[in-house]
Amino acid sequence: MKVELRPRPFDPLLELGCYQAGLDERLPGQCGATAIFIGAMRDFNEGEAVRGMTLEHYPGMTERYLQQIVEAASRQWPLLDGLIIHRVGELQPNDPIVLVAVWSEHRAAAFAACRFIMEELKSKAPFWKREDTADGSRWVEHNTPA
Amino acid sequence: MIYVKYFASLRDRLGRAEDQLDTHSDLTVAGVWAALWPDKPLPPNTLAAVNMEYAELTQSVRDGDEVAFFPPVTGG
A2-22+32-139 maps to which CATH number? 3.90.1170.40
CA distances from A13 to A22, A36, A62, B10, B31 (A): 14, 10, 23, 35, 47
**B38 contacts chain A (CB < 8 A):** no
Reported ipTM exceeds the 0.90 cut: yes
Interface contact flag, A122 B5, Cβ < 8 Å: no
**Extents of the domains making up chain B:** 2-70
pTM equals 0.95
Minimal CA separation from B44 to chain A, in Å? 12
* Digit-coded pLDDT (tens) for A8-44: 999 999 999 999 999 999 999 999 999 999 999 999 8
Q: How far apart are CA A20 and CA A7, in angstroms?
A: 23
pLDDT for A146 equals 79
Which residues, 6+ apart, have CB-to-CB distance to A89 below 8 Å? A7, A8, A54, A55
Q: pLDDT grade, residue B48 (50/70/90)?
A: very high
User: What pLDDT does residue A111 have?
Assistant: 98
Residues in chain B with CB shorter than 8 Å from the CB of A87 are none
Whether the predicted pLDDT of A145 surpasses 90: no
Radius of gyration of the CA atoms of chain B, in A: 12
User: What number is the average pLDDT over the span A125-137?
Assistant: 95
Give the start-to-end residue ranges of the domains of chain A. Answer: 2-22+32-139
Q: Is A64 helix (H, G, I), strand (E, B) or coil?
A: helix
* B8: contact with A, CB 8 A cutoff: yes
Task: List C-alpha distances in Å: B66 to A109, B4, B29, B72.
Answer: 37, 6, 10, 19
Partners of A126 on chain B (C-beta within 8 Å) are: 7, 49, 70, 73, 75
Helix (H, G, I), strand (E, B) or coil at B42: coil
Top-level CATH class of B2-70? Answer: alpha beta
Report CA dihedral (A121, A122, A125, A127) to the nearest 10 degrees: 130
Contact A127 B75 (CB under 8 A): yes
Contact call for B76 and A118, based on CB within 8 A: yes
- At B13, give phi and psi (nearest 5°): -65, -35
**Over 90: is that where the pLDDT of B5 sits?**
yes
Q: What is the DSSP string of B4-32?
A: EEE-HHHHHHHT-SEEEE---S-EEHHHH
Which residues on chain A are in Cβ contact (under 8 Å) with B72? 141-142
Average pLDDT, chain A: 96
Give Cα A110 to chain centroid, integer Å.
Answer: 15
For residue A109, which phi and psi values (nearest 5 degrees)?
-65, -40
Distance CA A43, CA A113 (A): 29
